[in-house]
Structure 1
Amino acid sequence: MFHTIIVAGNIGRDPEMRYTPSGVAVTSFSVASSRQYSNAQGQAVKETIWFRVSCWSKLAEYANTYLKKGNKVLIEGRLVPDTTTGGPRIWNRSDGTTSASYEINAVTIRSLATRSESEGTANNSSGFPEYSEPSIEEDDIPF
């Protein structure tokens, strides 16, 4: 079976890169995806969902180099469930309210910056170069 999730949003904090004991790079950052709509009473409602994003190896190095807080990005990857609930990680905030967080293991990162937003940077016209993990060919699957 296979699943993928695609999230478009703004990076909420600068990426943090670290290394596993075996030397594999891991970068983590958060992405906020928002939408705005009018409810039945005609009032504007803004809804924001936060995602924790992790990327590994070359993609981790790429993310640490090019991503900054506030960048508009499209993240494609795999949704990682909480091992105890099988769904999002549920936790209590300091004010006592319940909240949930979602984690994505990224495979592709794309800039959603407009040309005017990326002018004056050393990167290409889309903000920064796109990076994807190499795809697996059907012949490479061992079963």
Structure 2
Amino acid sequence: MLNRVVLVGRLTKDPELRYTPNGVAVANFTLAVNRPFSNQQGDREADFINCVVWRKPAENVANFLNKGSLAGVDGRVQTRSYDNNEGRRVFVTEIVADSVQFLEPRNSQNNQSSGNQNANYNQGGGNDYNQNSNRQQGGYNDDPFANDGKPIDISDDDLPF
């Protein structure tokens, strides 16, 4: 049996950090994850997915992410239920995150309007690079060699297979 979820999306509001009576940190947040297709009107829709993370990663999420931050979540689906104040049973489905990756630097929220976005910035501090360095405002090109016009010379020794 397998219960594994990987999501990439933007936080819809600032994370809510709380502590259990035993002092264990827990953070709740909602990710807006775009669907890979458009609806009949041609609009892109998103799913709003509730996530929960525990202990030190919860404190990191609360300290370093805020509304609009791009984050990657790796975890599992969990369902639970409880009785609310009116005595009705409430069912909750959420993602319990094993890890949360910060996919852009903290200050990039201020630079989004200028088209500068960095990717693969994570809480471990590895692989920080500018994925979109060839983008220009008003459009972008996915092929970093498109405007070069020169053939690419790769020797067989450079290939991983």
TM-score grouping bracket, smaller chain normalisation:
0.5 to 0.7
Query: Does the alignment pair 1:74 with 2:72?
Result: yes
Q: CA deviation at 1:44?
A: 0.5
Secondary structure of 1:30's partner? strand
Q: CA deviation at 1:83?
A: 4.1
Listed as ranges, the gaps of 5+ residues in structure 1 are 85-90, 92-99, 132-143
Q: CA deviation at 1:16?
A: 1.2
How well do the aligned residues superpose, as a CA RMSD in angstroms? Answer: 3.2
- Given residue 20 of structure 1, which amino acid in structure 2 is its aligned partner? T
Q: Distance in 1 between matches of 2:119 and 2:97?
A: 19
Q: Distance in 2 between matches of 1:38 and 1:128?
A: 29
Q: 102, 110, 115: which is aligned to 2:101?
A: 110
Secondary structure of 2:58's partner? helix
The number of residues matched between the two structures is: 111
| Residue in structure 1 matched with residue 30 of structure 2 by the alignment | 30
Q: CA deviation at 1:129?
A: 3.5
| Residue in structure 1 matched with residue 47 of structure 2 by the alignment | 49
Q: Percent identity?
A: 31
**Structure with greater proportional strand content:** 1
Query: Does the alignment pair 1:130 with 2:128?
Result: no
Q: Distance in 1 between matches of 2:33 and 2:11?
A: 9
Contact 1:36 1:44 in 2 (8 A): no
Secondary structure of 1:81's partner? strand
Listed as ranges, the gaps of 5+ residues in structure 2 are 83-89, 112-117, 125-161
Q: Which has the larger radius of gyration?
A: 2
Q: Distance in 1 between matches of 2:123 and 2:55?
A: 15
* 1:79-130 deviation line (CA, Å, top 9, x unaligned): 112448xxxxxx8xxxxxxxx974111111112338x93798xxxx658532
Secondary structure of 2:104's partner? coil
Q: CA deviation at 1:21?
A: 0.7
Bigger relative contact order, structure 1 or 2, given CA contacts below 8 A and separation 6+? 1
Contact 2:53 2:96 in 1 (8 A): yes
